[in-house]
C-alpha cells in the first residue's frame, strides 16, 4: 500500500476530491495548493473521516519553481517516505489562438507543463534517493488530439505532459519507481464549472472515486471513468476534425 501520498492543487476540484477519497482508504496525506484556508478546511474534513491519519499541509504556487522543490523536500521531513506523488495542479484558461488572449494561453501552458515539469523533477529527486515511489500525472482525454477555442492550449499542454510522463516511465523502467498517466474525461470541477454541457460528464465525487481506483492499480495509462473513455480514446485517435469541433 502506498501509505503516504502527496497531492498538488489539493485545495479544490479533483485534487480535493482525490484527497478525501484517499483519506477514506486510510492514506496519510501531504497536501499543497495556493489557498491556505481551503487546505485547512480540507485537513479538517480528512480528520473527520479518520482522526488517526497524518495530514500535512503547505501553501504552494507551482509556478514558483524553486518553491516546488523546497515544499516537496519539506514534506519528506513529515513522513518516513513519500510513496506516491500526484502532479495534479493545473488550469484551463485560454481562447482561440490569435484572438488577443496570449497571456491566458501562456499561463495555461506554463502551469500545465513547465510547472508540471518542476513537480516531476522534484518528485523523481525524492524517489531516486529513496529508491521507490509512484509518480502520477493528471493529463486529460483532450491531450489525445487537438481541440479548438479554449481547449487549444489546454489540450496541447496535456499532450506534452503525457509525453513527458512516458519519457520518465522509460527512464525508470525496471526500477522500483512506477509512473502512471491518468487521462480524465469530463469530470465536473472548478476548471470546467462554466461549461454548460459536455459528453459523458460526471460529477466530482463519481469522477474522483474512479480516479483513485485507477491510480491504485498503477497502470502505465488510465482513462477515467473507464466507461466510456477507455473506448472513446480509440475513436478520438481517428475522428475527423469536424467531429472534434463538435466536442469543444
Taking each continuous run of H as one helix and of E as one strand, the counts in the chain are 9, 7
Q: Which three cell numbers stand for residue 219?
A: 497502470
Which pTM does this prediction carry?
0.93
> What is the pLDDT averaged over residues 31-46?
98
Q: Does the pLDDT at position 246 exceed 90?
A: no
- How far apart, in whole angstroms, are the C-alpha atoms of residue 43 and residue 45? 5
The answer to whether 154 is a known catalytic residue is yes
- How far apart, in whole angstroms, are the C-alpha atoms of residue 31 and residue 56? 6
> What is the pLDDT averaged over residues 146-172?
96
DSSP-assigned states of every residue in 163-223:
HHHHHHHHHTTTSSEEEEEEEE-SB-SGGGTT----TT-B-HHHHHHHHHHHHHH--SEEE
Supply the mean pLDDT for the chain: 93
- Confidence band of 133 (pLDDT split at 50, 70, 90): very high
CB 102 within 8 A of CB 123: no
Q: Give exposure, 89-106, as e/b (b: 16+ Cβ within 10 Å).
A: bbbbbbbeeeeebeebbe
Q: Which of 22, 147, 154, 186 is catalytic?
A: 154
112: phi then psi, degrees, rounded to nearest 5:
-80, -20
Which pLDDT score, from 0 to 100, does residue 17 have?
97
Domains and CATH numbers, the chain: 4-247 (3.40.50.720)
Q: Does the pLDDT at position 78 exceed 70?
A: yes
- How far apart, in whole angstroms, are the C-alpha atoms of residue 105 and residue 94? 5
Residue 45, helix vs strand vs coil? helix
**How many Cα atoms are found within 13 Å in the side-chain-facing hemisphere of 132?**
9
Amino acid at each position: 500500500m502506498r501509505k503516504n501520498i502527496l497531492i498538488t492543487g489539493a485545495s479544490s476540484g479533483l485534487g480535493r476530491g482525490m484527497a478525501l477519497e484517499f483519506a477514506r482508504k486510510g492514506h496519510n496525506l501531504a497536501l499543497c495548493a495556493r489557498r491556505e484556508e481551503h487546505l485547512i478546511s480540507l485537513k479538517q474534513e480528512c480528520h473527520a473521516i479518520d482522526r488517526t491519519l497524518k495530514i500535512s499541509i503547505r501553501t504552494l504556487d507551482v509556478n514558483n519553481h524553486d518553491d516546488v522543490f523546497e515544499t516537496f523536500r519539506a514534506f519528506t521531513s513529515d513522513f518516513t517516505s513519500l510513496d506516491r506523488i500526484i502532479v495534479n495542479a493545473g488550469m484551463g484558461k485560454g481562447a482561440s489562438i490569435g484572438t488577443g488572449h496570449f497571456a491566458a494561453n501562456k499561463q495555461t501552458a506554463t502551469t500545465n507543463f513547465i510547472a508540471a515539469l518542476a513537480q516531476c523533477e522534484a518528485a523523481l529527486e525524492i524517489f531516486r534517493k529513496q529508491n521507490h515511489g509512484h509518480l502520477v500525472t493528471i493529463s486529460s482525454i483532450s491531450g489525445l488530439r487537438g481541440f479548438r477555442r479554449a481547449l487549444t492550449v489546454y489540450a496541447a499542454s496535456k499532450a506534452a505532459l503525457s509525453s513527458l510522463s512516458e519519457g520518465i516511465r522509460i527512464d525508470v523502467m525496471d526500477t522500483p519507481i512506477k509512473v502512471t498517466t491518468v487521462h480524465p474525461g469530463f469530470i465536473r470541477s472548478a476548471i470546467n464549472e462554466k461549461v454548460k454541457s459536455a459528453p459523458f460528464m460526471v460529477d466530482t465525487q463519481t469522477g474522483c472515486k474512479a480516479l483513485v481506483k485507477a491510480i491504485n492499480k498503477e497502470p502505465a495509462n488510465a482513462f477515467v471513468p473507464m466507461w466510456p473513455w477507455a473506448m472513446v480514446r480509440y475513436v478520438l485517435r481517428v475522428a475527423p476534425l469536424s467531429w472534434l469541433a463538435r466536442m469543444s
